[in-house]
Structure formats: C-alpha cells, structure tokens
Amino acid sequence: MYEFSRGPLVWIAFLIFFTGSFFRIVWMIYTAKKEKVVLPYINAKYGFRSILHWVIPFGSVNMRLRPAFTIISFLFHFCLLITPIFTLGHILLWKQSWGVSWWNLPEGLTNIMAIIVVLSILFLILRRIADPTVRFVTSWSDYLLLIVVVAPFVTGILAYYQAFDYDTAITIHIWTGAIWLAAIPFTRLIHMIMFPFTRAYMGSEFGYVRNAKDW
Ligand code: HEM
Ligand code: HEM
C-alpha cells in the first residue's frame, strides 16, 4: 500500500489537480466568450487594482468591519499555502524522486504553521455552527470540505510525531494529501485558481463601467 501511495497515487493526484484546473479555466473562458458583457468589460487597470485590494489584509471595507475573521483568514491561507511547499519531509521526497530541492523552513516552524491551519479550521467550523447568518446557508458538504482541507495537516502532524505506526500514518497522510489536491478542481476550492479572474471582472465592472469601488 505504501509503495502505491508513494508512487502512482501522487502522480494521479497531481494529474487530476493540473488537468482539472486547466479545463476549469478553459471552460470559464469559453462561457465568458459566449456572454456579450463579460470580456469587453475586462480592464487591466481596474482589474489589478481590485485584486491588490483583496489580497492585502484590511484592504477592503468588509475586512475592516470583521478584523478577527480577517486576521484568521489571512493567517490560515498563508500557512495553508506555504507549509506544504517548505516542509522538510516534502522537499526530501522531491529530492529523492527528481533530484530537485529548495530551502526548507525549520521543522519547529512548519509544526506551528500546521497547527495554525488546524485551529483556523476549527474556528471556521464553529463559525458555521454559531453564527446564525452563516448557519442558514450551510449544508453538510461545507463541513465535509473543511474536513478535506484540514486532513493532510492533522495527519502530517501525526506522522511527524510518529503518533502511531509510521508506515500507516504516512500512508494515511499521503491519501489525505492526494484527496486535497484532487478535490480542488471539482469543489469550491477552485477559488484558488478562479480568484484573480473573478476579482478582475468585479473590479472592471465596478471601476470601468459603474465608476465605483468594489472593496
Ligand atoms: C500527496 C502527496 C504527499 C506526500 C507524499 C507527503 C509526504 C509527507 C512526508 C513524508 C512528511 C514528513 C513526515 C515526517 O516528518 O516524518 C509530510 C509531512 C507533512 N505534510 Fe505531507 N505529503 C503529501 C501531501 C501533503 C499535502 C497536500 C499537504 C497539505 C496541504 C501536506 C501537509 C503536510 C504537513 C503539514 C506535514 C507536517 C509538517 C510538520 O509538522 O512539520 N502534505 N508529508
Ligand atoms: C492563493 C489562493 C487563494 C485565495 C486568494 C483565496 C481566497 C479566499 C477568500 C477571499 C475566501 C473567502 C473568505 C474570506 O474572506 O477570507 C476564502 C475562503 C476559504 N478558502 Fe481560500 N483562497 C486561496 C486558496 C485556498 C486553498 C488552496 C484552499 C484549500 C485547499 C483554500 C481554502 C479556503 C477555505 C476552507 C475557506 C473558508 C470556507 C468556509 O468559510 O467554509 N483557499 N479563500
């Protein structure tokens, strides 16, 4: 099982992630072209201006109105994206398989960043339960998605600390990591890829057409 997980499974997961995301972008461009009012509205200046406002913490009114959520959301996304790229265990595997390597973050720090992701997900789950406006639009699939997102971080920490038999722990970790990657093109997690496009469109429509801000 370990051999399959370490080899073909990782390949399959990356393949689904890249081809799935590619086809989502192709499909988005195809549908946008059919709409008369989408592509002609896109304007580089207003598009980039909007993206910039939304990727800078507290760059939008909405973020300033909810400071606690904003801090948690930015910290969560930062740790979520940076930890897997700079974890020593991952870099060693790339070196073993492909002979490529890059610098890693200290293990103590990746540990803390992984724990920040886990705590942030707990916060997002509690928020969906406790906040009536969010609860109203929440279904079981929203919780499932949060579990999918957090799973490789929980299992990565368990494997690192060798909480139980290492081979079992790392195999479970690789499966949760593969599901994480493969889920992105088919779920709301596609916002990772779509974010610049949707933001550029909103920024253009508000700035270029309505002469207003969208942040
Ligand atoms: C799919 C292929 C993957 C493989 C083969 C893999 C493999 C590994 C290995 C070998 C370790 C080191 C465990 C140790 O120290 O003994 C590790 C740790 C870890 N992995 Fe993965 N992983 C994969 C995917 C992912 C993904 C997609 C994520 C997160 C999005 C992730 C997050 C982590 C974390 C947070 C740690 C622990 C880091 C720490 O506590 O310092 N992994 N992984
Ligand atoms: C660099 C790319 C990404 C950007 C710009 C981005 C942006 C956003 C934004 C704007 C939100 C809305 C909530 C908020 O205002 O904070 C959000 C929520 C979220 N994102 Fe991302 N994201 C990115 C990548 C990812 C990735 C790779 C994942 C996981 C695989 C992810 C998981 C989530 C989750 C779990 C939520 C909260 C959903 C909930 O409340 O149930 N994001 N993201």
Contact 5, 174 (CB under 8 A): yes
Chain segment 71-115, per-residue pLDDT in tens = 999 999 999 999 999 999 999 999 998 999 999 999 999 999 999
| Residue ranges lining ligand 2, Cβ < 6 Å | 73, 77, 80-81, 124, 142, 146, 149, 184, 189, 191-192, 195
Span of 52-56, 115-119, 137-141 with lowest mean pLDDT: 52-56
Nearest Cα to Cα of residue 152 among 119, 175, 185? 175
Report the mean per-residue pLDDT for the chain: 91
pLDDT band at 212 (very low <50, low <70, confident <90, very high): low
Residue 44 burial class via C-beta count within 10 angstroms: exposed 0-12, middle 13-18, buried 19 and up:
exposed
Query: Do 104 and 86 touch, CB atoms closer than 8 A?
Result: yes
User: For ligand 1, which residues put their CB under 6 angstroms from it?
Assistant: 10, 13, 83-84, 87, 89-90, 93, 107, 110-111, 114, 152-153, 156-157, 159-160, 170, 173-174, 177-178, 180-181
Closest residue to atom 14 of ligand 1, CA basis: 160
